[in-house]
Structure 1
Amino acid sequence: MNPLRSDQIRGNWAALVLPIDADDRIDFARLADEIDVLVASGVDGLYSNGTTAEFYNQTEAEFDAIHALFAEKCAATGMPFQIGVSHMSPAISLERLRRVRDLHPGAVQVILPDWFPPTDAEAIAFLERMADASAPVGLVLYNPPHAKRKLQPEEIGRLADAVPALLGVKVAGGDADWYARMKAAAPDLSLFVAGHTLATGWGRGAHGAYSNVACLHPRAAQRWTDQMHTDLPAALELETRIQAFMRDCIHPFISDQGYSNQAVDKLLMAVGGWCDVGTRLRWPYRWIPLSEADRLRPIARDLLPEFFV
């Protein structure tokens, strides 16, 4: 596809998630089926190799096979797509980027080097070299709350000023003051926030989400995102129920039982039941048993009937 501009990176983007077999291998047949379902769901775009795709736990041969399949299916259907080349090693991240250029993603997602937190100068040097390698395709910076260096709006603004190829950021979001600071510091960046806060964020200037809510059901998440354009109060009401479900039923797996974010994302997919991916994570990380999805599904159906139409 053609390189995206920052003002074209908008809305509800759904994540690619890896189906893992009992022998710890990626099930590429189920992965192909998942991509087909995501494309058919009509989301605004797809992205690969975020945290929930376990980018940190792939061989380079697997990375190449995943993205050959992903790019082929997206290109064949005209689905906008971004490729994540993130890795804790900047050298490996750069090599991943060089290998996906010919797949023609709309943008490339990166994290800052993550073994030791970089200074401003080091972060700029990293992004400049990545931008040179990706040109004319731009970069989206993924800076989650668990990053070694969690950037403040003013720091994001300095990176955007120094690296014009930086098109957008994926961050957790914040309060009204945080949004005002982001608007002042980086007004031209595409701003993507946590999916379960998107309606509030939309009203404060966010442009979309690389969405955990799409894990529960991508088509329902798209309907909710579209609703923000036409009936924001109704979208905010649905957000309160989404957040209640996350708070009461999903977050305790993280806060009380120590599961990872990617484990609960796969649990959400199993609760939604729209695709056969399973909840298994790759060694050495624990996954949540499928029986928990069976337990939570009636609760989700009662609280969020919009996601089970």
Structure 2
Amino acid sequence: MKKLYGVTTAMVTPFGADGSVDLGKVEALVDHLVGAGVHGLFPLGTTGEMVRLSEEERMAVAETVVERAAGRVVVYIHAGAATQEATIRLARHAQHIGADGVGVVTPMFLGANDRELEQYYVTVAGSLRQDFPVYLYNIPQCAANDLKPEVAARIAARCANVVGVKYSWPDLLRTDEYLRIRDGSFAVMQGADRLMLPALAQGCAGVISGVSCVYPEPFVAIYDAFRAGDLDRARDCQRVATSYCEALRSGSNMSYFKEALRLRGIDAGVMRAPQLDLEPDAIRQLAADLAALPPVDAL
């Protein structure tokens, strides 16, 4: 089973002016990210505006990413959805098309207790081949349900194919608890971009990063420097990455990601309603903020 590691990029989903998914732009984005040296792709998650897409659209994007990546990087499809049945359909589709694995966010919006969260993941993981890996995905600030480490440990004990977790709340103490699952063999991917280097030092396998969809260079540089044992350079690169996280509002609104990609010469389409593209004043401010930052091509 291929696990996630290094810089795994949470991809935006490009929409055309008519609101439809632009698969050609998806292909171009895959090529850009692979060319920039990322180690994995994670489409259709929070950064990918997953809740704005139909199942059919999500399947089309998943197929496009897997086909275009063509084995050059690890590809995990985010399959979490509003219902358990939809999640299973999307996860089985990812398995069928040859993805390397899936991520599954906790049930969303409506509250779920620990027993319900455990059974949900056991059911989803049990619907797949036991050699097809699943990452739990905990983003309580968006999903409104928190997956506790002890619950994740119970899920891992019951499901051999649940191999890790993406944790997107900036809590290094909680991260350490996840890292103890299965005596340290449970893979933890940090979802808070600004904590990439501390997370690597703590023992995380890498980061699933939204900002790296726009600026992969500083994140790849962090990983390379850390792997080479050059902590001074890794710290410098983390500071650069953090400055870009701040300029892009750390993904609080994907319109910043899409506009910044456009400023880099990459057309990632528009937002899908009810979200809107940035207004002209905000675009000018973003351009000025980015121009003031250290150039990523100097890393």
Length-normalised TM-score, structure 1: 0.84
SS at match of 1:86: coil
Which residue, out of 195, 214, 219, partners 1:197? 195
Which amino acid in the other structure matches residue 266 of structure 1? K
Q: Does structure 2 conserve the Cα–Cα contact (< 8 Å) formed by 1:24 and 1:282?
A: yes
The Cα shift of 1:209 comes to 0.9
Q: Does structure 2 conserve the Cα–Cα contact (< 8 Å) formed by 1:199 and 1:239?
A: yes
Pairing 1:112–2:102 present: no
Match of 2:16 in 1: 21
Pairing 1:46–2:41 present: yes
**Structure 2 residue runs without a partner (length 5+):** none
Match of 2:185 in 1: 188
For the residues of structure 2 that align with 1:66 and 1:35, how far apart are their CA atoms?
A: 11
The Cα shift of 1:51 comes to 0.9
For the residues of structure 2 that align with 1:115 and 1:31, how far apart are their CA atoms?
A: 28
Which residue, out of 286, 289, 298, partners 1:296? 286
- 1:199-226 per-residue CA deviation (whole Å, 9 max, x = no partner) reads 1211122211111231232244322321
**Structure 1 residue runs without a partner (length 5+):** 255-259
The Cα shift of 1:297 comes to 3.6
Which amino acid in the other structure matches residue 269 of structure 1? L
The total of aligned residue pairs comes to 294
Q: Does structure 2 conserve the Cα–Cα contact (< 8 Å) formed by 1:301 and 1:308?
A: no
For the residues of structure 1 that align with 2:23 and 2:213, how far apart are their CA atoms?
A: 19
The Cα shift of 1:173 comes to 4.8
Which amino acid in the other structure matches residue 278 of structure 2? I
The Cα shift of 1:84 comes to 1.2
SS at match of 1:20: coil
Pairing 1:92–2:82 present: no
Q: Does structure 1 conserve the Cα–Cα contact (< 8 Å) formed by 2:218 and 2:241?
A: no
Q: Which runs of 4+ in 1 moved over 6 A?
A: none
Report percent identity of matched pairs.
22
Q: Does structure 2 conserve the Cα–Cα contact (< 8 Å) formed by 1:216 and 1:307?
A: no
CA RMSD of aligned residues (A): 2.5
Which residue, out of 122, 144, 149, partners 1:148? 144
- 1:242-277 per-residue CA deviation (whole Å, 9 max, x = no partner) reads 334534x343x98xxxxx443343344345x15211
Match of 1:257 in 2: none
Which residue, out of 222, 225, 243, partners 1:224? 222
- 1:86-112 per-residue CA deviation (whole Å, 9 max, x = no partner) reads 212111111112223221111111112
Q: Does structure 1 conserve the Cα–Cα contact (< 8 Å) formed by 2:109 and 2:145?
A: no
The 5 Å alignment of 1:242-261 reads: 242-247=241-246, 249-251=247-249, 260-261=252-253
The Cα shift of 1:47 comes to 1.6
The Cα shift of 1:294 comes to 4.7
Which amino acid in the other structure matches residue 262 of structure 1? M
For the residues of structure 2 that align with 1:209 and 1:195, how far apart are their CA atoms?
A: 7
Which amino acid in the other structure matches residue 245 of structure 2? M
The Cα shift of 1:10 comes to 1.0
- Is the alpha carbon distance of 1:250 and 1:74 closer, same or farther for their aligned partners in structure 2, counting shifts above 3 Å? closer
Length-normalised TM-score, structure 2: 0.87
- Is the alpha carbon distance of 1:91 and 1:243 closer, same or farther for their aligned partners in structure 2, counting shifts above 3 Å? same
Q: Does structure 1 conserve the Cα–Cα contact (< 8 Å) formed by 2:8 and 2:41?
A: yes
For the residues of structure 2 that align with 1:38 and 1:281, how far apart are their CA atoms?
A: 20
